């Protein structure tokens, strides 16, 4: 008697599990490195900002060096944004998006980033259901895929085709879209397809293209494709890649519609980007394009004399530079190196403190627990969360309203002072409503 068992599906399931575990571990690594790197950048950018402000007007050579430090910090910030995208932990501002319109509005930016010998065709205008997404991240994803396609085509002429369509995903075919390591729900999606007629890839190369920093002459560089898979994961979408040597490569991405993910909530936390950016600035660094004579900072500084802010952060350099920036606007500061000390200081000075700046990622007492304790002591206190991670889930569990805002590290001097000004205005508005 001969009994034969086909274990093909079992082997495929085991390989998928290993791939998922690899993505998870690399995601944790990237998220952790980016968090630590963001703390360093916050101190670097802050110190350079203060140096520019405090310089004598005739110290032109020193000022130039400080501006170079700032620009280097801005470039490093873009790297951490890519790392967080790969880890699926970037700060996302979700809203209802028309994918076709978004592509149509920005297609000229995509075209300007590649060789003039390469033509981008499409997408054709068509009625599509809305998706829930972050416009900047979707633009970054498209840009990375177009740059990858241009690298595949090389120096000669070629065509990149961009198309979109509505797609109904059945439960039976959901397993075909598990490159991100997640199981997709059956339902209505919007498919984005980007195809090129470049040199294509063999099966061995296809297995590696989403690894961080994997490079060949045609698959791009650095974290470009690695961040793509992270962005798709953040959007709970699906991803497929088909390629053949000498024929070309096609990437297909599925973005779920709100009906497919009915339990998904669009975050309402006001998020101030670390670097103020235009609609497409996630791949077009406005800081590097700044004219030499254009001021780096808004002047003069608004005085907030009489205001007091409690800074809770375990990084001494970050606390110090943040306090110095606030003092430029005549703000008094208190500093705490951890959550427990911060709660103690707040309890002692609760009548004087107008705002708390709180790092969410600290050893010991968690940022979430600090928020709860502060609100227990003083329910009306304004809190701005500081972090390099996406903390929307934590904030939703806290039941946020106008009292809680979010500022991503590394923040610039302008973005910090503008956020603080908004929070002070909220305090005054609340006080006026209570008196009315």
Indicate the SS3 state at residue 97: strand
In 10 A of CB 431, how many CB atoms? 11
Domain 271-435 in CATH 3.40.50.2300? The answer is yes
Tokens describing residue 231:
């962005």
**Per-residue 3-state assignment (H helix, E strand, C coil) for 221-278:** CCCHHHHHHHHHHHCCCEEEEEEECCCEEEEEEEEECCCCCCCCCCCCCCEECCCCCC
Q: What is the pTM of this model?
A: 0.53
CB-based contact 86:141 (threshold 8 Å): no
Range with the lowest mean pLDDT among 283-287, 334-338, 423-427? Answer: 283-287
pLDDT at 336 over 80: yes
| DSSP state at residue 52 | H
Span 132-151, pLDDT tens digits: 888 888 998 999 899 989 98
As a whole number, mean pLDDT of residues 209-220 equals 56
Domain assignments of the chain as residue spans, ordered by start:
8-87, 95-256, 271-435
Which pLDDT score, from 0 to 100, does residue 183 have? 83
Confirm if 265 and 119 have CB atoms less than 8 A apart. Answer: no
CB 52 within 8 A of CB 63: yes
Across the range 74-99, mean pLDDT stands at 72
Q: What is the pLDDT of residue 2?
A: 61
Pick the CATH number of 8-87 from 3.30.720, 1.10.287, 1.10.10, 2.115.10: 1.10.287
- Determine whether domain 95-256 maps to CATH 3.40.190.10: no
Contact between residue 307 and residue 31 where contact means Cβ atoms under 8 Å apart: no
Beta-sheet pairing, 131-133 with 158-169: unpaired
């Amino acid at each position: 008697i001969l009994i034969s068992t086909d274990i093909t599906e079992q082997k495929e399931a085991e390989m998928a599990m290993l791939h998922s575990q690899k993505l998870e571990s690399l995601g944790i690594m990237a998220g952790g490195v980016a968090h630590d790197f963001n703390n360093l950048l916050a101190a670097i950018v802050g110190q350079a900002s203060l140096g520019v402000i405090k310089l004598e007007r005739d110290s032109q050579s020193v000022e130039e060096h400080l501006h170079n430090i700032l620009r280097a910090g801005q470039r490093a910030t873009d790297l951490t944004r890519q790392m967080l995208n790969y880890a699926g932990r970037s700060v996302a501002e979700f809203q209802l998006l028309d994918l076709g319109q978004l592509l149509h509005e920005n297609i000229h930016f995509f075209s300007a980033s590649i060789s003039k010998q390469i033509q981008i065709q499409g997408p054709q205008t068509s009625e599509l259901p809305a998706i829930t997404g972050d416009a900047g991240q979707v633009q970054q994803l498209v840009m990375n895929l177009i740059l990858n396609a241009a690298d595949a085509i090389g120096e000669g002429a070629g065509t990149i085709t961009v198309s979109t369509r509505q797609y109904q995903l059945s439960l039976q075919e959901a397993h075909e879209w598990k490159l991100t390591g997640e199981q997709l729900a059956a339902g209505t999606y919007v498919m984005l397809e980007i195809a090129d007629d470049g040199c294509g890839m063999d099966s061995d190369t296809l297995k590696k293209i989403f690894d961080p920093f994997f490079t060949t002459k045609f698959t791009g560089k650095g974290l470009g494709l690695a961040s793509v898979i992270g962005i798709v994961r953040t959007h709970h979408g699906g991803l497929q890649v088909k390629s053949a040597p000498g024929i070309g490569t096609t990437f297909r991405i599925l973005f779920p519609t709100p009906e497919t993910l009915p339990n998904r909530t669009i975050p309402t936390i006001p998020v101030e980007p670390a670097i103020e950016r235009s609609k497409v600035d996630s791949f077009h660094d406005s800081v590097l394009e700044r004219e030499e004579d254009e001021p780096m900072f808004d002047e003069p500084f608004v005085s907030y004399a009489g205001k007091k802010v409690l800074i809770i952060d375990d990084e001494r350099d970050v606390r110090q530079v943040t306090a110095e920036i606030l003092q430029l606007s005549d703000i008094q500061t208190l500093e705490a190196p951890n959550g427990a000390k911060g709660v103690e200081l707040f309890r002692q000075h609760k009548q004087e403190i107008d705002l708390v700046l709180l790092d969410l990622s600290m050893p010991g007492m968690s940022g979430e627990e600090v928020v709860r304790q502060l609100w227990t002591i003083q329910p009306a206190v304004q809190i701005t969360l500081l972090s390099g991670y996406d903390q929307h889930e934590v904030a939703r569990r806290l039941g946020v309203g106008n009292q809680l805002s979010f500022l991503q590290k590394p923040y610039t001097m302008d973005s910090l002072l503008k956020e603080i000004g908004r929070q002070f205005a909220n305090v005054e508005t609340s006080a006026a409503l209570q008196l009315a």
